[in-house]
């Protein structure tokens, strides 16, 4: 029986589709929406233009990341409300591929559900690099939503 589901979210349509799938397929499970701010691809996960700009690590940068994460989690709450559910949220800054697998391992998650791609126009034929790595390395079953 699945009691804890992890859904990595980045605001993309497929990550929201994965969240809806989790809410629909696991009505009794505790669902956690997990957002990782990727320092090397901030254009799709935050409003920060470039991780190489000198503002990284500044109070302004952290404020921008916090604001973007708050907006994303508000969207998550709206989706959950459509199913009369609430969703726990958590976030980190770093490499999404590594941190999603780490979270699934350390937080006793039973299942991971994620979108096949975080960004549109990806060059990978079937999975994005985060989905591919999570499928290969997660210690629990993974469902990839397309």
| Tens-digit pLDDT profile for residues 1-31 | 789 999 999 999 999 999 999 999 999 999 9
The 10s digit of each residue's pLDDT in 43-78 is: 534 444 444 455 556 788 888 889 999 999 999 999
70 CB-near residues (< 8 Å, 6+ apart)? none
Which pLDDT score, from 0 to 100, does residue 56 have?
59
Domain spanning 4-145 has what CATH number?
A: 3.40.50.620
* Gap between the Cα atoms of 131 and 112, Å rounded: 10
Q: Assess contact for 143 and 111: CB atoms under 8 A.
A: yes
């Amino acid at each position: 029986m699945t009691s804890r589901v992890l859904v990595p979210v980045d605001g993309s349509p497929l990550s929201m589709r994965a969240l809806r799938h989790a809410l629909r397929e696991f009505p009794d499970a505790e669902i956690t929406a997990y957002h990782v701010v990727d320092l090397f691809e901030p254009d799709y996960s935050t409003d920060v233009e470039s991780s190489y700009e000198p503002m990284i690590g500044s109070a302004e940068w952290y404020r921008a990341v916090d604001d973007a994460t708050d907006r994303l989690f508000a969207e998550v709450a709206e989706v959950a409300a459509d199913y009369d559910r609430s969703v726990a949220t958590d976030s980190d800054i770093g490499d999404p591929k590594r941190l999603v697998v780490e979270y699934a391992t350390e937080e006793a998650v039973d299942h991971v559900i994620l979108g096949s791609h975080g960004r549109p126009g990806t060059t990978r034929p079937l999975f994005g690099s985060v989905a591919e790595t999570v499928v290969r390395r997660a210690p629990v079953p993974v469902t990839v939503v397309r």
